[in-house]
C-alpha cells in the first residue's frame, strides 16, 4: 500500500470512530431524556382498559359467595326495574297521557281517537288481537301505523295491555 492510502484509511477510521461516538452519545442522551418524562396514560384510557379486561364471571363459594350472589341478583333486578318505562306502573291513564295520547288524541298517523266510531270494528276483532297489534306493531289497511309498544320499547307487555284496557274503558 502506498503512503497516501494509509493516511486516508487512518483519517477515515478516525471519522467513522468519531461518528460512532456521536451516535452512541445521542442514544444515551435520548434514553436519559426519555426516563425524565412522566408516563402519558390518560384516566379514560386506563378505565377503558380495566373495563375491557374485567372478568366476565365470578366464583361464589361458601357463605360469603352466597351473599355476593344474592347481592348480584338484587343489583341485576334493580337494573332491570330501572329500565322499565314510567317506573313500571300499570296505570293505563299515566301511560296514555305520557305516550299514547300524542297520536290517539288527534289522530296522528291515522291513529283511532277514543270514540266508538273508530274502535267498534277493532273491538270486534277481540282483545287479544288489540294487545298483539299494540305490542308487535301494526299497519292498517287504511295506512294507519301503530309502532310496536307505542314507540317505547321499554314498555312491558303488562303495561301495554293495561293501557289498551284503559283506552277501551274510556271510549266516548
pLDDT bin (cut points 50, 70, 90) of residue 32 is very high
pLDDT digits 0-9 by tens, 62-110: 776 778 778 888 887 776 666 677 777 778 888 888 888 888 888 888 8
Percent of all residues in the chain with a pLDDT value above 70, rounded to a whole number = 92
> Which backbone phi and psi does 67 adopt, to 5 degrees?
-65, -40
CB atoms within 10 A of CB 31: 9
Residue showing cell 326495574? 81
Q: How confident is the model at residue 1 (pLDDT cuts 50, 70, 90)?
A: low
Distance of alpha carbon 78 from alpha carbon 27, whole angstroms:
58
Q: Which residues contact 146 (CB under 8 A, 6 or more apart)?
A: 111, 133, 134, 137, 138, 139, 140
Q: Are 152 and 164 in contact (CB under 8 A)?
A: no
Distance CA 85, CA 12 (A): 83
The beta strand positions in the chain, using DSSP E, are: 138-139, 145-146
What are the CA-CA distances from residue 23 to residues 13, 20, 66, 141 (Å)?
Answer: 15, 5, 64, 83
> Mean pLDDT over residues 35-52, rounded?
84
What integer pLDDT is reported at residue 98 of this predicted model? 84
Tell me which DSSP letter residue 85 carries: G
Looking at residue 30, its pLDDT comes to: 94
Comparing 6-10, 29-33, 106-110, which segment has the lowest mean pLDDT? Answer: 106-110
Contact 15, 7 (CB under 8 A): no
Convert the pLDDT of each residue in 102-161 to its tens digit.
888 888 888 888 888 888 888 888 888 889 888 888 888 887 788 888 888 888 888 888
Q: Model confidence over 44-61: pLDDT tens digits?
A: 888 898 888 887 776 667
pTM over 0.75: no
Residues 6+ apart with CB under 8 A from 100: 150, 163, 167
Amino acid at each position: 500500500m502506498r503512503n497516501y492510502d494509509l493516511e486516508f484509511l487512518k483519517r477515515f477510521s478516525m471519522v467513522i470512530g468519531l461518528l460512532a461516538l456521536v451516535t452512541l452519545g445521542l442514544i444515551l442522551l435520548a434514553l436519559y431524556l426519555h426516563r425524565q418524562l412522566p408516563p402519558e396514560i390518560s384516566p379514560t384510557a386506563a378505565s377503558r382498559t380495566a373495563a375491557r379486561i374485567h372478568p366476565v364471571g365470578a366464583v361464589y363459594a361458601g357463605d360469603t359467595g352466597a351473599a355476593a350472589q344474592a347481592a348480584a341478583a338484587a343489583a341485576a333486578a334493580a337494573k332491570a326495574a330501572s329500565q322499565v318505562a314510567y317506573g313500571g306502573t300499570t296505570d293505563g291513564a299515566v301511560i296514555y297521557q305520557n305516550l299514547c295520547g300524542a297520536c290517539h288524541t288527534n289522530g296522528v298517523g291515522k291513529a283511532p281517537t277514543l270514540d266508538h266510531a273508530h274502535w267498534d270494528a277493532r273491538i270486534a276483532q277481540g282483545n287479544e288481537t288489540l294487545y298483539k297489534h299494540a305490542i308487535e306493531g301494526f299497519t292498517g289497511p287504511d295506512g294507519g301505523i301503530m309502532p310496536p309498544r307505542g314507540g317505547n320499547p321499554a314498555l312491558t307487555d303488562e303495561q301495554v295491555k293495561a293501557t289498551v284496557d284503559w283506552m277501551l274503558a274510556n271510549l266516548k
